[in-house]
């Protein structure tokens, strides 16, 4: 009898062919399919289908076809969209603790960032989504965010002064850019290209891959690798979908998300230099910030970091900081 039960449980997914049509995951994301995030979503779809024997499939909708990040959150909460990937900056209004990841200049490397997201404190923050009718499965990311603009090369803190820069509607992002002397302009991602093209704003702060995939090189001249924020994101599903999956299917989907996280990091690392070379070939001037100048940027945003930390329980802040410090130099 025990063997029969085990065999039945093991075959729940594979034999669920008739349920497959009911378990189609509509997946919303804001950028182009040929971006690293588009490739990541496609990898996730491939793994989900393989791990569930086709009982669960993923249909991806790139380029904000089903709405921008904020709209996708609401759609997932209502079960209209089954899955989405949204930046921690976009989710912080719902779970304020995500702002710990958004604090400027917190992470020195992707290895350090990945270690913290996979730690107990990273998973604890992820779990806080569930009371909001969405289930956070894992962290993906777009890469570190850098400054682009049309006005001038950026090599010093003074160079960013007065630049009208598009950013995400997140208080930490806005406060940080203001502290550095910029004029932050929150805009939904789909509106950014036109705003740059018409001169309504001077620049953008975004991952290099998105500058490439979004063709922002057509409307931006200068790129500086400030690496001031991460573009850490959460892959989540609607609780309505999650509760409708068999336990074995839930396990398979979560495993697919975690495996895809490794793939996501690999293609970001592998494509980093190629993306910079491509943007330079398209006419963008690529600059870096000297270490002593970067220290001035960090000093400028220090009050913002203090303000973030003051919002949370000291024990939680200490646990988060301990993970960041423990993985420094990775």
pTM (predicted TM-score): 0.89
Percentage with pLDDT > 90 across the chain: 92
> Is residue 56 within 8 Å of 246, Cβ to Cβ?
no
Domain of residue 160, residue span = 145-230+273-326
> Do 223 and 122 lie in a common domain?
no
Query: The CATH number of the domain where 79 resides is what?
Result: 3.40.190.170
Of 244, 258, 236, which is closest to residue 23 (Cα–Cα)? 244
Average pLDDT rounded to a whole number, residues 240-267: 97
The 10s digit of each residue's pLDDT in 5-16 is 344 344 334 434
> Do 43 and 123 lie in a common domain?
yes
E-only strand ranges, 176-241: 183-186, 203-207, 222-229, 232-238
> Do 97 and 198 lie in a common domain?
no
Average pLDDT rounded to a whole number, residues 171-190: 96
> Do 74 and 154 lie in a common domain?
no
pLDDT at 329: 85
> Do 135 and 21 lie in a common domain?
yes
> Do 123 and 212 lie in a common domain?
no
CA distances to 39, 133, 135, 162 from 129, rounded to whole Å, are 25, 7, 6, 36
Percentage with pLDDT > 70 across the chain: 93
> Do 114 and 189 lie in a common domain?
no
Number of structural domains found in the chain: 2
Q: Report strand pairing: 164-167 vs 203-207.
A: parallel
* Three-state DSSP class for residue 235: strand
> Do 128 and 213 lie in a common domain?
no
> Do 259 and 306 lie in a common domain?
no
Does position 20 have pLDDT exceeding 70, yes or no? no
């Amino acid at each position: 009898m025990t063997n029969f039960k085990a065999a039945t449980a093991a075959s729940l997914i594979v034999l669920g062919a008739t349920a497959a049509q009911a378990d189609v995951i509509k997946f919303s994301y804001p950028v182009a399919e040929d971006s690293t995030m588009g490739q990541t979503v496609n990898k996730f779809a491939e793994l989900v289908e393989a791990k569930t024997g086709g009982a669960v499939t993923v249909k991806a909708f790139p380029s904000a076809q089903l709405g921008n990040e904020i709209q996708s959150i609401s759609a997932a909460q209502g079960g209209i969209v089954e899955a989405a990937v949204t930046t921690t900056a976009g989710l912080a209004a719902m779970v304020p603790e995500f702002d710990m990841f958004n604090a400027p200049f917190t992470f020195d490397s992707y290895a350090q960032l990945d270690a913290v997201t996979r730690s107990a404190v990273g998973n604890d923050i992820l779990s806080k989504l569930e009371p909001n009718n969405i289930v956070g499965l894992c962290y993906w990311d777009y890469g570190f965010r850098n400054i682009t603009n049309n006005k001038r090369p950026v090599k010093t803190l003074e160079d960013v002064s007065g630049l009208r820069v598009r950013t995400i509607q997140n208080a930490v992002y806005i406060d940080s850019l203001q502290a550095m002397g910029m004029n932050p302009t929150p805009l939904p991602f789909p509106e950014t290209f036109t705003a740059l093209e018409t001169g309504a704003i001077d620049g953008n702060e975004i991952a290099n891959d998105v500058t490439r995939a979004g063709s922002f090189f057509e409307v931006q001249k200068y790129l500086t690798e400030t690496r001031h924020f991460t573009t850490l994101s959460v892959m989540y599903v609607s609780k309505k979908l999650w509760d409708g999956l068999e336990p074995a299917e839930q396990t398979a989907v979560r495993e697919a998300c975690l495996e895809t996280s490794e793939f996501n990091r690999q293609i970001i690392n592998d494509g980093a230099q190629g993306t910079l070379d491509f943007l330079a070939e398209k006419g963008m001037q690529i600059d870096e910030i000297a270490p002593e100048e970067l220290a001035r940027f960090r000093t400028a945003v220090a009050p913002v970091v203090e303000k973030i930390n003051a919002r949370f329980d000291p024990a939680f802040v200490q646990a988060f900081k301990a993970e960041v410090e423990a993985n420094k130099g990775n």
